[in-house]
Structure 1
């Protein structure tokens, strides 16, 4: 993302005492480039590398000299839903002379990872592939075991297709690139010497047409996949394939909604189960995903009602008077960033209502709070660069995994930096001279999680991995960094993820960087689509199990392999926290994120009853009332006026700005909102 004309800035380098060593799992030629820290295969390179990852539609687990595949079953109740891993089939080398040899990541890209169990097995783990593909690099005897019993085993006449019926009701099909002799016992298969390709797929149902689809596409296999930003508001998937014939892949529900390519064919009846919704067959080695444009704006979308401006000014004057950088007690990069962004909101609201008297004080506050983090003079904390994984960490985080919510082990980077970028973008807008001086610093912060370039030995200037947090297959971010979890990556606050890419786009506006605006806008739009698909739980949704849907209107923590109603910091029944953490910070882009007014009503009505619980924070109430203001502005305004406090990133000024910039739904205008939702 770095501009060609911009001299890159590198924060002072430091060594971390808490980061894991990547050399155990990455091939040596990958270690010289920045490495992924929030990727879909992160568990494969942490600790023992033996926790599973969800490579749709299979859970994959590697343990020393073997790899296990599971077509997971789904467990669900009112509190959570998750996929159950069972090693349905485990692939290894018979009488392996190196049983303690662990796996190595030999290559990776946006949509795939290649995992080698040395020296003979190479697995092309491509996301959305209905087959597990293994290349046997040297003639060996293959060993395939199962925790189940094999009830029936048969092959075709050429010994290139085998059906395996297990006593748990599963039917698996194994294809080979050349004839292979397989013998079976109660719970295992063993081959004669074999070198070539094998592909394994579950048959999710007994429909004979389903098996014929697998047969037809079994000879073409993907080995890698990249996402290309070819046009505005478009992402194109391109797979490298081998073998012969057409490529069959699986699309998740969001893919299906965004597909915009007449060159591909959707097989509507070819479906696999998934925690993310049904995965549908798509034929074609290149897909185009296209979203409606999202307009990135500094100010409210519809403007503030003129008659309300005096009320906003009164609150604005009070909030600005309270700005004092010397009174800030927190040293946390997260909470400090929220204070920076809160002040920046006041500046933009002042501009929008043309009350500029407060701008000088806000500008001084922003300079006083931002510059120490950019100059390395903050004292007890600050931003530093570490080159082992390639990224910015904090001084506190370099020695403590729990400091700054794990920022030092690459947790929540887009959240923290997003707040700082918002403040920097606003300050660069209102003080262009300051903006020019600190542009290299701003771009380095942004590049930590917004770099588009791919690392490699040919480009030693790349200091950060490609799109650190954003998952180009799920089309949303992960926040959990270099921490091993049995359920994979996770993200709690989807709204803070939206804020990070929105803020990067605003930075592009401040600097006249149309490319940054375009990429930031695209990622903002995709994050919003994903939020509305997987985080926002509507009453009539069928995506999740009925019992989970019935009791929940918004996700707590979304994991790669789990959906949880609880939060990291609060139990599930604190509904106001679940709503609030998926709303904050309150911005113009929030209107796009919550453009489905019917859903907003469901969410608010689900939350309001818990506000009478003892100990509910005033700040959380503010976000509930803000959403209520989408459709009941007068009632929400009365409630907002009763608040005795606000979230540390919010203010009375911001809440009044929000309420007084709502559309008047009583007009019956029937306006179409962003992304085609119909409101009023």
Structure 2
């Protein structure tokens, strides 16, 4: 049964999400950003996007955490994983791999093997150019080869358009054991000595010939070719049936509260066959669209089995989540309020007496003001109103210099090359602020600022209105839904609308693709955006933030929280782990950027912080929480483990063992820099 508070907020979201986002992608020249409210800067550390994007795209905001980011960085020759294939461009060719998982107790890797490479017989070498991109796909051209590749997430086929008559080469690192055409020579079955069977379909006769054990050449051909791995003996009939309809792009529409709709633009004839990962299948609303799930048609993936779905429009629906300022179901025992209040008075004095300029890094500054904002909301919840003005004054003094560009030690600046915020320090040093200046961790850092701003705007409406434009522009850096080239920011900088969770890595090339470490800080970012919507009465922002938070939570529970027997990960990995460290698009890792895999308390803590009302939703599976706490417990006694990290483990224990956890928390000698004794006592006393 939902509480009245939960029902009220969900009612607001349902009312506020009755909008349909404009999905057209027009590409006129982009004027100089007119509404940018932060000082502008030319970064000295950002890469130049112009070699890899078509000239018309350079007039619009460019993605900085996309599923194809490796294709537009450095030499553009690092692989990206698209479900079910990995792709790599090099020397005017595209190589695809159906990667094999390599699991261990410490990681799951997907090895890239050059299963098939498509190129032309021409010798001119040229890198790929992005000619268009969408929420679910990217189109890349190799102009010197007359090749255009439509790479759409979740397509079981690779689709290539050959624009003028051209002779093609198809090579492999394996041996080709057989090459078998049909009578029309528009379908070829390619068997390799690694037991893979690939099928090539062409829009007209292509004339393939094996010229050596690892090379196939075609006659001069123009039109469309499609290549697919056959995942089993019964799969070929399915691939044959749907080979004539292919996606060229895909959009995700925000159409209703806690709902997302996929629409693919397709060409060719017939119905469209795509692949759904396990979270798609959990959320897919079959009755809302004419889609058919082919449960027997499956490909393996690092995210769990991919299952065939027929239909060019999907509706995904997630359960509503409560977006509340205070504890979702209230503090359970009024007798605990004096204990919380005593800690609150001490913590408020400590926080507000700290010199604001003592912290300059954007991440730690954000955690500091979010910590203070938590104290204000807890004070409001326990009726200790006399401390709220002091906290509010502190927060105003701390936030305003970042919004006005007058903070001496750092500050947010706007750069137009990729279209977004960087920090003063990050504009000249790619390592500063954990890489914020090269678009790393934007939703983490800004999420903390958005949380604090939302709280002040709630407590002081006049201040909120005074800084509303700057505050909303700050949130827009990672929350923008607008596709128009006139936007100051790209569409949803961090959130992957196919994977249904965020990436954090920014403009850095990684061999394993995109990555995200702290799932809980991603949840915090979208939760904070939803709160900002509540503070300003912006129902669209609240609804969008709520949906993204809900999806991020379910993705975290699916891929960061490890459950033995759920068929997502292999047994050797699930038997040794209860939680991941870093989720990569092409890897699962138990190590962290700043700690080894053996630091279980840190691995848990980085997936919990910061503790707020939304933490209850993130860790709603009590039996899993108990397993996680018991798995971590031995690590807490090791030398070098700090109380700051122990606090997060004890907070989880409080979900099912309130009294023991409370005593452990009272004995802590220190807290994470974004946490406090007050916050932990509030958390424990609001548990069931």
TM-score above 0.5: yes
Mapped contact 2:564–2:571 kept (Cα < 8 A)? no
Mapped contact 1:9–1:440 kept (Cα < 8 A)? no
Which among 153, 156, 159 is matched to residue 130 of structure 1? 156
Which among 473, 476, 481 is matched to residue 444 of structure 1? 473
Further displaced range: 332-341 or 538-547: 538-547
In the alignment, which residue of structure 2 is the partner of 1:298? Answer: 325
CA distance in 1, matches of 2:254, 2:181: 44
The 5 Å alignment of 1:554-569 reads 554-569=579-594
After superposition, give the CA deviation of every residue in 1:34-89 in whole Å (9 maximum; x if it has no partner): 10000000000000000000011000000031000101111111100011101100
Q: Secondary structure at the match of 1:105?
A: strand
Which among 598, 601, 607 is matched to residue 582 of structure 1? 607
CA distance in 2, matches of 1:255, 1:525: 13
CA distance in 2, matches of 1:340, 1:115: 43
Which among 341, 352, 363 is matched to residue 381 of structure 2? 352
In the alignment, which residue of structure 2 is the partner of 1:271? Answer: 298
Give the deviation of 1:327 after TM superposition. 5.7
Give the deviation of 1:118 after TM superposition. 1.0
In the alignment, which residue of structure 2 is the partner of 1:244? Answer: 269
Q: Secondary structure at the match of 2:473?
A: helix
TM-score of the pair, normalised by structure 2: 0.94
After superposition, give the CA deviation of every residue in 1:408-456 in whole Å (9 maximum; x if it has no partner): 0000000000000000000001111110000011001100000001133
Give the deviation of 1:180 after TM superposition. 1.2
Mapped contact 1:8–1:440 kept (Cα < 8 A)? no
In the alignment, which residue of structure 2 is the partner of 1:179? Answer: 205
1:432 pairs with 2:461: yes
After superposition, give the CA deviation of every residue in 1:154-176 in whole Å (9 maximum; x if it has no partner): 10000010000111111100000
CA distance in 2, matches of 1:325, 1:234: 43
In the alignment, which residue of structure 2 is the partner of 1:106? Answer: 131
Q: Secondary structure at the match of 1:28?
A: coil
The 5 Å alignment of 1:600-619 reads 600-619=625-644
TM-score of the pair, normalised by structure 1: 0.95
Give the deviation of 1:574 after TM superposition. 0.4
Give the deviation of 1:540 after TM superposition. 3.2
In the alignment, which residue of structure 1 is the partner of 2:432? Answer: 403
Structure 2's unaligned 5+ residue stretches are: 1-16, 22-33
After superposition, give the CA deviation of every residue in 1:320-340 in whole Å (9 maximum; x if it has no partner): 111224265221000000000
Further displaced range: 321-330 or 135-144: 321-330
After superposition, give the CA deviation of every residue in 1:598-619 in whole Å (9 maximum; x if it has no partner): 0000110011111111111111
Detail structure 1 runs of 4+ shifted over 4 Å in the superposition.
none
Give the deviation of 1:542 after TM superposition. 2.3
Q: Secondary structure at the match of 2:422?
A: strand
Which among 89, 92, 103 is matched to residue 65 of structure 1? 92
Q: Label 1:9 to 1:94 Cα distance change in 2 as closer, same or farther (>3 A).
A: closer
CA distance in 1, matches of 2:158, 2:293: 21
CA distance in 2, matches of 1:233, 1:8: 30
Which among 133, 136, 148 is matched to residue 174 of structure 2? 148
Give the deviation of 1:653 after TM superposition. 0.3
In the alignment, which residue of structure 1 is the partner of 2:67? Answer: 40
Q: Over aligned residue pairs, what C-alpha RMSD do you find?
A: 1.3
Q: Label 1:475 to 1:626 Cα distance change in 2 as closer, same or farther (>3 A).
A: same
CA distance in 1, matches of 2:169, 2:676: 63
Mapped contact 2:63–2:418 kept (Cα < 8 A)? yes
In the alignment, which residue of structure 2 is the partner of 1:195? Answer: 222
CA distance in 2, matches of 1:219, 1:404: 49
In the alignment, which residue of structure 1 is the partner of 2:548? Answer: 523
The 5 Å alignment of 1:545-560 reads 545-560=570-585
In the alignment, which residue of structure 2 is the partner of 1:668? Answer: none
1:533 pairs with 2:533: no
In the alignment, which residue of structure 2 is the partner of 1:316? Answer: 344
Which among 79, 87, 90 is matched to residue 117 of structure 2? 90
CA distance in 1, matches of 2:359, 2:398: 12
In the alignment, which residue of structure 1 is the partner of 2:500? Answer: 475
Give the deviation of 1:380 after TM superposition. 2.2
Q: Secondary structure at the match of 2:293?
A: strand
After superposition, give the CA deviation of every residue in 1:8-35 in whole Å (9 maximum; x if it has no partner): 4521100100000000100000001110
Q: Secondary structure at the match of 1:16?
A: coil
Mapped contact 1:325–1:369 kept (Cα < 8 A)? no
Q: Secondary structure at the match of 2:323?
A: coil
In the alignment, which residue of structure 2 is the partner of 1:77? Answer: 104
In the alignment, which residue of structure 2 is the partner of 1:666? Answer: none
Which among 588, 593, 604 is matched to residue 618 of structure 2? 593
Which among 659, 665, 668 is matched to residue 643 of structure 1? 668
CA distance in 1, matches of 2:109, 2:227: 24
1:157 pairs with 2:183: yes
Q: Label 1:328 to 1:616 Cα distance change in 2 as closer, same or farther (>3 A).
A: farther
The 5 Å alignment of 1:331-342 reads 331-342=360-371
In the alignment, which residue of structure 1 is the partner of 2:13? Answer: none
Number of corresponding residues: 652
CA distance in 2, matches of 1:279, 1:446: 34
Q: Secondary structure at the match of 1:621?
A: helix
